[in-house]
């Protein structure tokens, strides 16, 4: 019976590791819900291996980090569009275009669609092509800023999990 339990635990751990890796793939392929994948890994550990190790503090911290992770894409995009001279409409369109771009020509749509959308919106607002391109470059940099923030937050969540489980 002990052997079966060890094999079961090993299988669960392999699935958890695969889910952690898959969560990072979700940064480039937004069709993969990174957050959901991370939470499935945490919940799988909690319900299949040890339900007492992940404390209330852990779950609250993961909830806070989840909120930060959700906002990182939109905030980074809006920040960079604004920083590069984009309008309020450019900021709003950039945030919406990130979501739409996730489903259009993955993984490139998440970069191309916001770029084109911001460029178009800025031109429609009587901005020069140079100003429109600059704002669109801001959306491009916003994607990379958001992706970097997501990588850092996801790493923090996974490292926190590992520390709690090992200690």
Q: What is the pLDDT of residues 11-55, one digit of tens each?
A: 999 999 999 999 999 887 777 889 999 999 999 999 999 999 999
* CA 41/CA 17 separation, integer angstroms: 8
Q: Say which DSSP state 103 is in.
A: T
Per-residue pLDDT reduced to its tens digit, 132-145? 999 999 888 888 88
Per-residue pLDDT reduced to its tens digit, 68-103: 988 887 788 778 888 888 888 988 888 788 778 877
Which two structure tokens, joined as six digits, stand for 5? 């339990």
What are the boundaries of each domain within the chain? 2-166
Do residues 141 and 78 make contact, with C-beta atoms less than 8 angstroms apart?
A: no
What pLDDT score does 52 carry?
A: 92
Asked if the peptide bond before residue 32 counts as cis, ω within 30 degrees of 0, the response is: no
Whole-angstrom CA distances from 65 to 128, 142, 152 are 39, 19, 10
Q: What is the CB neighbour count within 10 angstroms for residue 120?
A: 15
Tell whether the model's pLDDT for residue 165 goes beyond 80: yes
Residue 14 pLDDT: 97
Alpha helices (runs of H) in 29-128, residue ranges in sequence order: 34-48, 56-83, 88-101, 109-124
Provide the whole-model pTM: 0.81
pLDDT at position 48? 95
């Amino acid at each position: 019976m002990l052997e079966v339990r060890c094999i079961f635990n090993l299988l669960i751990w392999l699935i958890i590791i695969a889910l952690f890796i898959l969560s990072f793939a979700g940064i480039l392929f937004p069709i993969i819900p990174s957050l959901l994948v991370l939470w499935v890994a945490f919940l799988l550990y909690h319900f299949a291996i040890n339900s007492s190790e992940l404390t209330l503090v852990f779950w609250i911290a993961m909830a806070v980090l989840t909120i930060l992770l959700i906002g990182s894409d939109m905030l980074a995009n809006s920040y960079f569009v604004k920083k590069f001279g984009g309008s309020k409409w450019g900021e709003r369109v950039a945030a919406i275009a990130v979501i739409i771009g996730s489903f259009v020509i993955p993984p490139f749509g998440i970069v191309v669609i916001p770029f084109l959308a911001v460029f178009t919106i800025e031109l429609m607002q009587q901005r020069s092509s140079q100003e429109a391109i600059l704002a669109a470059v801001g959306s491009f940099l916003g994607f990379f800023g958001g992706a970097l923030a997501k990588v850092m937050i996801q790493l923090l969540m996974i490292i926190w999990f590992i520390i709690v489980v090992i200690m």
